[in-house]
């Protein structure tokens, strides 16, 4: 096959098709198209009288690539008693023996019972088979023993990025083209009943569909199949919807041989989300990540997903991690960046391991931004380490709706939401209230205290992402607010300090390296948040915060914080904010250059002028404080 000329080319291409290139897909049409494409690519050098290769069922397998009837952790148990039969199967395939198919079917039947506890009778409907039996030459030695070094040298793919749960919209829209145009769940429920009455078979099909989804859920949650779909963080097991891209990352890893490589396209959530923590432990502790290159879909690289969606290419090797860094970039818009090494940053493994539980990544756009991040993380410990205060939720908007009322005479507990406040500011008094019964059951005694509140919904593209204030006593909140719990354990002075620091550009910058549209507790716990004793000038932060707290409408809930005679007076809000941000930057040890780099990241097109004006005030204040010697370096 190394001979020059068409004969050598033909032999080489035959070898690639028969022994090198494999494919697995649940969609038979995709398998067929792959077969045609590969076959056509080999016609140029093939003799006209030579038969075309038969790839489907031999190297191109039609089955569910994620749901294997033999669980990964039970492979030895399943295959050891069948080594003689597997050896015969392997010989039959390699020798193109006509008995291969009959042997394959028989062995599939012999191992199918291993999936009964999860898939039950749904395995055929989910196209679940045992991949090892379908490809014995890949996974077994000649004697039929499972090869500990078996698997693929290279695994590549673009797995589905969808949640695994019944989707009534997708199901019923098959039968009614106007179904998706219905405005709310009540109308859709009504249409479902109408369709079931008109076409009785639909109800049975929905039941069958739901049964398949339930079986698939059982399979994907079974530890014998997948070990890294969930993880224990801060003593609690992470929970989230099952997503097929997560199962795909682990399944790709399982199919790799030792020292093999994987290239997979995933949503960018893999790097940051709490629900992906287990997968990060897999790829960073059981493998060597080589590249993690993240794109924003702003220019429509993928037409079918939203332009703000982020996705990434992950390249890794299945080997003991030894490298000190790997290549990254974030927020790129053109695929040309993939091959431009000048755009790639070095991400130190020591940065990944700064939080041993989460192993999450931050997402700077430039090396200068990365330098600011490094300086911040070496200055103070993370919130999750010092645990300066506890965060939680009071009420869930949907689950606790029975405790809500609009009758102001019926309760004295106004129900605050994220939209009711801004930094340091109550924008307006809520018009909805929580009943006394609900408060006593779910919030008491926290409702008696001043409490730190952080807005949950705050995109990284907003002018500011971290929105914090103090909720007054006798107030409660909905789940769009992360609110302080066990509030009596922290002094009011310390609460004022934390609100001031949280609202600084420094903390906002750090969080924006991680978040997409939510500032939830998971992200807050990764922020380096100092305790007051760690700040040289913590009293100044407290004083500035007291002066900045105000209500724009209704009763001034912050009147108790009016500055004393010894505190600075007659300064407008812009000056106070500049002083607070300058002090926090100095305490974090940021240089003037670092501060400018940090502030420039907030210059979105919509807010560029206002941010530049505020940034100039902060830098001027920073310079003045440096001149007067108020530093902490």
- Distance CA(428)–CA(555), nearest Å, equals 9
Q: Above 80 in pLDDT, residue 616?
A: yes
Centroid of chain to Cα 491: 35
Strand order across the 433-434 sheet: 404-405, 433-434, 413-416, 476-477
Q: Is 309 left (phi over 0), alpha (psi -120 to 50) or beta?
A: beta
**What pLDDT, on the 0 to 100 scale, is given for residue 378?**
87
Q: Above 80 in pLDDT, residue 631?
A: no
Mean pLDDT of 502-520: 91
Question: In Å, how far are 276, 493, 543 from 539, measured between CA atoms?
Answer: 39, 9, 6
Please tell me the least confidently modeled range out of 223-227, 233-237, 487-491.
233-237
**What pLDDT, on the 0 to 100 scale, is given for residue 567?**
59
Type and span of the H or E element at 481: strand 481-485
- Distance CA(356)–CA(361), nearest Å, equals 12
**pLDDT tens column, 488-508:** 999 999 999 999 999 999 999
Q: Above 80 in pLDDT, residue 568?
A: no
Q: Above 60 in pLDDT, residue 569?
A: no
Structure-token pair, residue 399: 């689950």
Per the CB < 8 A criterion, the answer to whether 277 and 359 are in contact is yes
pLDDT band at 563 (very low <50, low <70, confident <90, very high): low
Return the percentage of the chain with pLDDT > 90, whole number.
78
Q: Above 60 in pLDDT, residue 252?
A: yes
**CB count, 10 Å around CB of 602?**
21
- Distance CA(561)–CA(157), nearest Å, equals 58
- Distance CA(373)–CA(377), nearest Å, equals 6
Q: Above 60 in pLDDT, residue 42?
A: yes
**What pLDDT, on the 0 to 100 scale, is given for residue 633?**
41
Cβ neighbours for 97, distance < 8 A, ≥ 6 positions apart? 91
**What pLDDT, on the 0 to 100 scale, is given for residue 632?**
45
Type and span of the H or E element at 451: strand 451-455
Q: Above 90 in pLDDT, residue 240?
A: no
**Is the pLDDT higher at 448 or at 459?**
448
Going by C-alpha positions, the residue among 312, 231, 244 that lies closest to residue 516 is: 312
**pLDDT tens column, 309-363:** 999 999 999 999 999 999 999 999 999 999 999 999 999 999 999 888 899 999 9
**CB count, 10 Å around CB of 122?**
20
Please tell me the least confidently modeled range out of 48-52, 160-164, 219-223, 489-493.
48-52
**What pLDDT, on the 0 to 100 scale, is given for residue 517?**
79
**CB count, 10 Å around CB of 561?**
20
Mean pLDDT of 475-491: 96
Structure-token pair, residue 229: 């779909």
Question: In Å, how far are 466, 497, 505, 584 from 579, measured between CA atoms?
Answer: 18, 14, 12, 9
pLDDT band at 219 (very low <50, low <70, confident <90, very high): very high
- Distance CA(219)–CA(191), nearest Å, equals 32
Mean pLDDT of 533-557: 91
pTM: 0.84
Per the CB < 8 A criterion, the answer to whether 314 and 283 are in contact is yes
Report the mean per-residue pLDDT for the chain: 92
Query: What pairing do the DSSP bridges indicate for beta strands 310-317 and 345-348?
Result: unpaired
**pLDDT tens column, 392-429:** 999 999 899 999 999 988 888 999 999 999 999 999 99
Domains of the chain with bracketed CATH: 6-113+128-133 (no CATH), 151-361 (3.40.50), 385-567 (3.90.220.10)
- Distance CA(280)–CA(294), nearest Å, equals 15
**What pLDDT, on the 0 to 100 scale, is given for residue 562?**
75
**What pLDDT, on the 0 to 100 scale, is given for residue 570?**
60
């Amino acid at each position: 096959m190394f001979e020059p000329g068409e004969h050598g080319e033909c032999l080489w291409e035959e070898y690639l098709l028969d022994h090198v290139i494999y494919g697995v897909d649940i969609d038979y049409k995709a398998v067929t198209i792959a077969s045609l494409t590969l076959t056509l690519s080999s016609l140029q050098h093939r003799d006209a009288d030579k038969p075309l290769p038969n790839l489907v069922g031999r190297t191109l397998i039609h089955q569910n690539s994620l749901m294997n009837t033999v669980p990964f952790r039970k492979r030895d148990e399943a295959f050891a008693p069948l080594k003689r039969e597997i050896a015969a199967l392997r010989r039959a395939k390699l020798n193109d023996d006509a008995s291969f198919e009959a042997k394959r079917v028989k062995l599939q039947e012999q191992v199918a019972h291993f999936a009964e506890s999860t898939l039950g009778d749904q395995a055929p409907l989910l196209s679940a088979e045992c991949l090892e039996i379908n490809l014995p030459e890949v996974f077994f030695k000649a004697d039929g023993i499972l090869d500990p070094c078996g698997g693929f040298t290279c695994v590549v793919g673009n797995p589905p990025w969808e949640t695994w749960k019944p989707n009534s919209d997708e199901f019923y829209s098959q039968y009614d083209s106007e179904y998706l145009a219905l405005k709310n769940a009540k109308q859709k429920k009504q249409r479902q009943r109408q369709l079931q009455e008109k076409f009785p078979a639909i109800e049975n099909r929905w039941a069958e569909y739901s049964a398949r989804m339930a079986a698939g859920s059982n399979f994907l949650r079974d530890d014998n199949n997948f070990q890294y779909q969930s993880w224990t963080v801060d003593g609690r097991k992470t929970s989230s919807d099952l997503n097929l891209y997560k199962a795909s990352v682990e399944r790709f890893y399982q199919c790799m041989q030792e020292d093999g490589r994987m290239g997979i396209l995933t949503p960018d959530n893999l790097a940051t989300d709490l629900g992906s923590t287990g997968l990060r432990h897999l790829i960073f502790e059981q493998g060597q990540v080589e590249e993690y290159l993240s794109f924003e879909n702003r220019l429509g690289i993928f037409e079918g997903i939203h332009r703000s969606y982020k996705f990434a290419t992950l390249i890794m090797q299945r080997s003991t991690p030894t490298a000190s860094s790997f290549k990254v970039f974030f927020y790129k818009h053109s695929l040309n960046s993939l091959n431009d090494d000048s755009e790639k940053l070095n991400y130190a493994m020591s940065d990944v391991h700064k939080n041993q539980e989460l192993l999450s990544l931050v997402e700077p756009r430039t090396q200068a931004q990365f330098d600011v991040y490094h300086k911040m993380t070496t200055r103070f410990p993370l919130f999750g380490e010092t645990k300066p205060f506890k965060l939680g939720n009071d009420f869930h908007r949907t689950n606790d709706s029975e405790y809500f009322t609009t009758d102001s005479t019926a309760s004295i507990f106004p129900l605050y939401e994220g939209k009711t406040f801004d930094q340091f500011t109550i924008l307006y008094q809520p018009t909805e209230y929580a009943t006394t019964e609900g408060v006593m059951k779910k919030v008491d005694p926290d409702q008696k205290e001043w409490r730190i509140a952080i807005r949950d919904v705050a995109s990284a593209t907003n002018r500011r992402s971290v929105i914090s204030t103090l909720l007054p006593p006798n107030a409660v909140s909905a789940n769009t607010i992360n609110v302080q719990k066990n509030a009596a354990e922290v002094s009011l002075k310390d609460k004022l300090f934390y609100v001031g620091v949280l609202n600084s550009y420094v903390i906002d910058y750090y969080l924006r390296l991680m978040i997409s549209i939510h500032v939830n507790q998971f992200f807050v716990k990764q922020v380096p948040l100092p305790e007051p004793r760690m700040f040289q000038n913590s009293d100044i932060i407290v004083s500035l915060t007291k002066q900045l707290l105000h209500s724009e409408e209704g009763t001034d809930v912050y009147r108790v914080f009016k500055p004393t005679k010894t505190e600075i007076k007659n300064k407008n809000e812009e000056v106070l904010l500049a002083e607070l941000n300058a002090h926090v930057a100095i305490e974090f040890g940021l240089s003037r250059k670092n501060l400018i780099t940090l502030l420039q990241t907030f210059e979105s097109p919509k807010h560029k002028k206002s941010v530049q004006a505020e940034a100039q005030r902060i830098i001027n204040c920073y310079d003045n404080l440096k001149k007067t010697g108020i530093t902490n370096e």
